[in-house]
Amino acid sequence: MKLSGAVSLPAAPAQVWALLTDAQRLACLLPGCERLEPDGPDCFKAVLKFGVAAISGKYAGSLRFLQLKPPHSLALQFDGRGLPGFVHGQARINLLRKGPGTELRYSGEAQIGGIVASVGQRLLDAAARKIVQQFFDAAAAELESAPPPAESSSPAAPASRPARAARNNKKR
């Protein structure tokens, strides 16, 4: 499955970068994220819960930031396994200043297998697009409500999903 697109975010590239590379804040934005904790430099262990059609379950896996060029671009590599199946993939993110905000361009590819893949490509594509949209909606809301972060480009400490974030990521 391939995904790509662009989204406008209401903050400067440095602020968007800080959001995307902060484990605690990122955990709050990722739909279904129950835990995101550091596991080495630019590496994280994650636990997420997702459902597609009648198939849902938890996935344990890893997220790795690669090719970091603050505050302009980064690559991601992710892997996860759970009872419903597996997912492996990579993505590329580019941040471009557009007026007072940032245009975030993304592209990625994921391989999905196991029982979850049996729902079909159309449902998987629709579910992936919904998750991406929920993430960017939450990111925009966070950037609008948060004061500018301190100048830092290093990922934060372990994160658990706070109640506020859980409310933000309920199915819509």
**Could you give the domains of the chain?**
2-149 (3.30.530.20)
User: Do residues 59 and 141 lie in contact, with contact meaning Cβ atoms separated by under 8 Å?
Assistant: no
Kindly state the tokens that stand for 151: 């100048």
Please tell me the distance from the alpha carbon of residue 23 to that of residue 161, in angstroms, as a whole number.
Answer: 11
Kindly tell me if the per-residue pLDDT of 163 is higher than 80: no
Kindly tell me if the per-residue pLDDT of 66 is higher than 50: yes
Query: pLDDT value at position 96?
Result: 98
Please tell me the distance from the alpha carbon of residue 96 to that of residue 7, in angstroms, as a whole number.
Answer: 11
Backbone angles phi, psi at 110, to 5 degrees: -135, 145
Query: pLDDT value at position 146?
Result: 75
Q: Within 13 A of 167's CA, how many CA atoms are on the CB side?
A: 4
Instruction: Tell me the CA distances in angstroms from 155 to 23, 39, 114, one per residue in order.
Output: 6, 11, 32
Kindly state the tokens that stand for 114: 């196991």
User: Do residues 24 and 157 lie in contact, with contact meaning Cβ atoms separated by under 8 Å?
Assistant: yes
Residue 163 burial class via C-beta count within 10 angstroms: exposed 0-12, middle 13-18, buried 19 and up: exposed
Residue 138 burial class via C-beta count within 10 angstroms: exposed 0-12, middle 13-18, buried 19 and up: middle
Query: pLDDT value at position 121?
Result: 87
Query: pLDDT value at position 158?
Result: 44
pLDDT, average across residues 143-150? 75
Which of 63, 114, 61, 64 lies closest to 86, judged by CA? 114
Query: pLDDT value at position 157?
Result: 43
Kindly tell me if the per-residue pLDDT of 168 is higher than 50: no
Residue type, 27: A
Query: pLDDT value at position 78?
Result: 97
Kindly tell me if the per-residue pLDDT of 21 is higher than 60: yes
pLDDT tens-digit series, residues 116-129: 988 888 899 999 99
| CB neighbour list of residue 163: distance below 8 Å, 6 or more residues apart | none
Q: What global pTM score does this model have?
A: 0.83
Kindly state the tokens that stand for 20: 């995307």
